[in-house]
Structures are given as structure tokens and as C-alpha cells.
Structure 1
């Protein structure tokens, strides 16, 4: 069982990394790859974080994990849920590559895998809600950097973050994402009672 679960985690993580790599290769072949822009997408960053979380979790399969691993897993799940919630209703209608396998992986499979992994193999104890703020530190840093870039070099990863729409509209979008992220995080923090695979206690 341990090897099977660990192998599945590694396999999905490699699939996610393969999708990101394939996108890099496609942009390189098209001659329009700019690393600063490509890796500026929250989707790409979230998939890299999610793949890392699965890889690290594989090393602790069916064993109690350190607190930092559980927070990493929770953050990855929240971020990928944000990606899915934003992409499919807002961005997929204008995405010409919606049917590509890489798109399905980074905007769907990764989320199902990471959230499913959390629900099936959550921590032994629920994470304290007092530390719920942890899940939004990274998204807020990312949003800040993105807004600075939008105001300086004019590049933004998503149209709803474009300063030309007015900073009030952008602030409203970010506030909505923060609220949604905290709500989802709170659910995941308390959802450990649903777990199917329970890690053994240390020692």
C-alpha cells in the first residue's frame, strides 16, 4: 500500500511537471518564451507548488508528516482550487488551447489530485484555524508583484488584474480571491476527519 500511494503521488507530480515543461518547450519553439512572464502566472506557480507537495508527501506516505509538510499540502490545495475556480468560468471561454492535454492537467488534473490527496490522507490532527492566514501569504505576495509589474512594464498574466480596468476593480477581485481562499482553507483545515489513509503516529 505504501509503495502504491507513494508511486501515485510521484506519478501525478511528474505529469504536472511534464505539462509545465511541455508549455515551456512550445513557447521556445514559437520563439516567444520569456521566463519572467511564463513563470509569473499563478497557474504555473501553483502547479509547481502542488507537484512539490506531492513529491514531499510521497516520502512520508502513511507516516506522520511534519507540520510544515501539512501546511505546504494545504496551501497547494487552496491555490489549485483558486486556479480552477477562476480559470473555468472566466478564462476558459477565451482560451484557444482549452482542449490541449497540458491545459487539462494544469487547470484540472492537478487540482483533483492535490485536493484528493489531502482529503484521502489528511494530517492526524486538524490544522489550527488561528494559522489560516498562512495560506494567503504567497497569493498576496504574488498579487503585489503582479500589480507592480502591471504598473511599470505593463505586463499582467490575467485580464482581470490589468490596472487599465482601474485599481478599485482590481482590488475587488483580489479581495474576492482572498475571501474565497480563506473560506476554502478553513474547510480543508477542518476536513481531516474525512481521511481514508491515516498516517501512523511518529515513534
Structure 2
């Protein structure tokens, strides 16, 4: 097995195992019915993005060398790396201090928010041809987080539940949530440009 395939295998196993374990724990913590528990589980940007990483790594793992496709595209790979990087940054800089759980939950938090992001960043740096990532693709990269934000803000009032405290309209009100959302937009924009810039400078 090549170094690239081995890294993809590690990423896929780590992401899938962590997601499955987190789903099992979610049922243990949940005070809602099965359907709502599952919906809430997949309402976390962390879960959606780690799932995207897991699918990407799995598809690339079984793909033939030089095979073309959606996940083989440098822009797609850079976008996925961008998303999981934001997952890691937001958790470690903003949310980590709010989590008090220990044991398995603490381990899963580290796997989903630190280990998988770092593995994906390393994969991008070593194996993705960053020179093919383009600035004109950035608006398309922002569609996924934009759709997620719209979905979350629209569903929140009906579910009386928000996945993250900084977008909890019930607790913070719309002015603060919109401000926080604007900050996140700027973060996504900054790192989008940063990854394209860095990709054009790296040797691969």
C-alpha cells in the first residue's frame, strides 16, 4: 500500500469510527425521539463535514491512480480541506472551553475536531496539486456553509434547538447571531483565499 493510500485509509477509518461512536453516544444523551436525535446529529457542521471527509477518503482509497472524478478534483479537495480546517479552528478556539465531558466523548471531540482536520490538512499538503485550485472557485466553496447556515437558522425556531451556542437565536437574539455569522463568513473567505494562495506556493 502506497503512503497516499495508507493515509487515506487512516483518515477514512478514523472519521467513520468516530462518527459511528458519536452517533451511538448521541442516542445515550438524547431526550428526544429517534428521528429527532438523528436529525440533530446531522445538524452539526462537524458531523456533516467529517462525513464528507470520510466519503472523500473512502472514494479516493478505492479509486485507481490518476482516475478523474469529483473527489479527484483539486478544487474539491481544497474545499473539503477548508471545511474541516474551519471545524477544527472553531472548536479549538471557541468551543473547547465550553465542553466539560470526559471519557469517550472527550476522545471523540479530539478525533473529530483535531485529529481528522490535521490528517486532512497533511493529506492536502502532501498529495493534492494545490496549483490547480483557483480563486474563481471560492464562491462555489461557500455554498455548502451558506446552505448549512440557512438551514440551521430556519429550523432552529421550529425545533427550539440550535447545534452551536454562537448561533442560538433563542439565547442571543438575531443581531448577535447575525454578527457571529458575518464573522464566520469572513473566516471562510480568509481561509479560502489562504488555501488557494498556499496551494500555488507548495511544491506538489
Q: Please state which band the TM-score falls in when normalised by the shorter chain.
A: 0.7 to 0.9
User: 1:143 and 1:150, CA in 2 relative to 1: closer, same or farther beyond 3 A?
Assistant: same
Report the Cα offset of residue 119 of structure 1.
1.0
User: 1:103 and 1:162, CA in 2 relative to 1: closer, same or farther beyond 3 A?
Assistant: same
Alignment check: 8 A CA contact 1:128 1:189 kept: yes
Alignment partner of 1:183 is 2:187: no
Report the Cα offset of residue 194 of structure 1.
5.2
1:166 to 173, 179, 188: 173
User: 1:65-84 counterparts in 2 under 5 A?
Assistant: 65-66=68-69, 69=72, 70-84=74-88
Cα distance per residue 1:34-91 (max 9 Å; x no partner): 0000110001111111122222333457637546532332222111111122111221
Report the Cα offset of residue 29 of structure 1.
3.9
Residue of structure 1 equivalent to 2:138: 132
Report the TM-score when normalising by structure 2.
Answer: 0.85
Structure 1 gap segments, 5+ residues each: 199-203
Alignment check: 8 A CA contact 2:152 2:162 kept: yes
Provide the secondary structure at the position in 1 that maps to 2:100.
coil
**More displaced 10-residue stretch of structure 1: 19-28 or 96-105:** 96-105
2:125 to 111, 114, 119: 119
1:50 to 53, 56, 62: 53
Report the Cα offset of residue 12 of structure 1.
1.8
Which is richer in helix?
A: 2
Report the Cα offset of residue 31 of structure 1.
5.4
Alignment check: 8 A CA contact 1:125 1:192 kept: yes
**C-alpha distance in 2 between matches for 1:5 and 1:61:** 12
Structure 2 gap segments, 5+ residues each: none
Provide the secondary structure at the position in 1 that maps to 2:129.
coil
RMSD (CA atoms): 2.3
Report the Cα offset of residue 3 of structure 1.
2.5
Q: How many residues align?
A: 196
